[in-house]
Homo-oligomer: A and B are copies of this chain.
Amino acid sequence: MRRRKEPSKTISITDVARLAKVSISTVSRVINKSPSVKERNRKRVLEAVEQLNFQPSVLAQRLATGKSSVVALVIPRYEGIFYSFYALELIRGIGTLTAALKLDLLLHLTDTHSAFNVRGVGGVIFADVIANRGQLEEAMRLGVPSIVINNYVEELPVNCIAIDNRGAAESVVDYLSGLGHTRIAHITGDVITQAAAHRLEGYVSAMRKRKLVVREDYIIKTDYSRGQARQAAESMLSLTERPTAVFVASDSMALEVMSVANEKGLKIPQDLSVVGFDDNPSGLYGPVSLTTVRQPLVKMAQDSVKELSVIMNLGVKKAPVKKVYLPTELVVRESCQHVSP
């Protein structure tokens, strides 16, 4: 491509300059609202821009400045991600805020190995860094503003916003224990994720604090899927010494547990108390509304965009590294009651 064969349809800064009879530098200045342009020239440029319907190429701008106004959300790809309450909440939060800040949002789902090219975006929000930690490190190495959400990364000097999952789990156990329960079980999420791991930790430590027995058969690990939740519930509710309460790591799994209980003739909450996690609206609709933990997913997402835009403006070096845990809230509804004597 020595030179475009067919005359370019796209009009560039040069065309504007020619029409306005100024140099491209002046056009550039006008575009970038530099004050040092004589009013007369500014006007002419503006007219030319108008007349030619000129829009600067973001690409060229980015290439020249190294800045970009697109924020990438990098999130591990998993089956049905676009149907998961969690991912949707993140997208909602990030989407609304990027839109408000006039930033564009680039959605990138990572497979285990797909190398996302961080060059070219203004900043990156990594959700749930797991297998793709390499990408995070690369972004940091390249100096691309980054922030991680839903994962408190201690080892790296990177901003992060996570949910206080340990505290949340503890408050659930406390609540259940306060209702007189001692046989409290826990169905975990995928403990490869920090969230699930922390919920488990919180559960265990709260049980210990309350001097309650932590039984192996009262802890079943899953991958967050409803299928595994069902299996877990089936085996757990078949135990000779059934738990009287169960803390489930997500609402959608909790719903599954409730329906298994139902199939086994157990009444909720009379025979089994159930607590979920997420405050997913679908927990509202069943015959028994679900007691759950509300986590500020949307807020976390929004905060991340705010933080990121600060970094994008201040520069990676100047912006202080902040790491925070966001508190959760227990939402008591109908799926728990005092343990029957």
Contact indicator B119/A107 (Cβ below 8 Å): no
**A141–B9 CB distance below 8 A:** yes
Closest to A60 in B: B63
Cβ of A119 and Cβ of B55 under 8 Å apart? yes
The CA-CA distance from A235 to B119 in the complex, in Å, is 57
A115 — nearest CB in chain B belongs to which residue? B55
Q: In whole angstroms, how far apart are the Cα atoms of A151 and B286 in the complex? A: 36
Main secondary structure of the interface of A (DSSP, over half): mixed
A55 and B116 alpha carbons, distance in the complex (Å): 10
Cβ-defined contact, B77 with A82, below 8 A:
no
B contact residues around A77 at 8 Å (CB): 99
The 5 A-B pairs with the shortest beta carbon distances in the complex, nearest first, are A82-B92, A285-B285, A59-B120, A105-B107, A58-B120
Interface string of A47-88 (1 = CB under 8 A from B): 000000101111110111000101000000100001100001
Q: With both chains docked as a complex, state the minimum distance between the C-beta of A34 and any C-beta of chain B, in angstroms.
A: 15
User: Does B99 lie within 8 Å of A143, measured CB to CB?
Assistant: no
Q: How far is the CB of A149 from chain B (nearest CB, A)?
A: 16
In the complex, 20 of the A-B residue pairs with CB atoms within 8 angstroms, ordered by the A residue number, are: A9-B141, A10-B119, A55-B117, A57-B117, A57-B120, A59-B59, A60-B63, A63-B63, A82-B88, A82-B92, A83-B92, A88-B88, A91-B91, A99-B109, A104-B108, A105-B106, A105-B108, A106-B106, A107-B107, A282-B285
A189 contacts B by Cβ under 8 Å = no
> In the complex, what distance in Å separates the CA atom of A285 from the CA atom of B114?
39
* A58 CB contacts on chain B under 8 angstroms: 117, 119-120
Residues in chain B near residue A141, CB distance under 8 A: 9
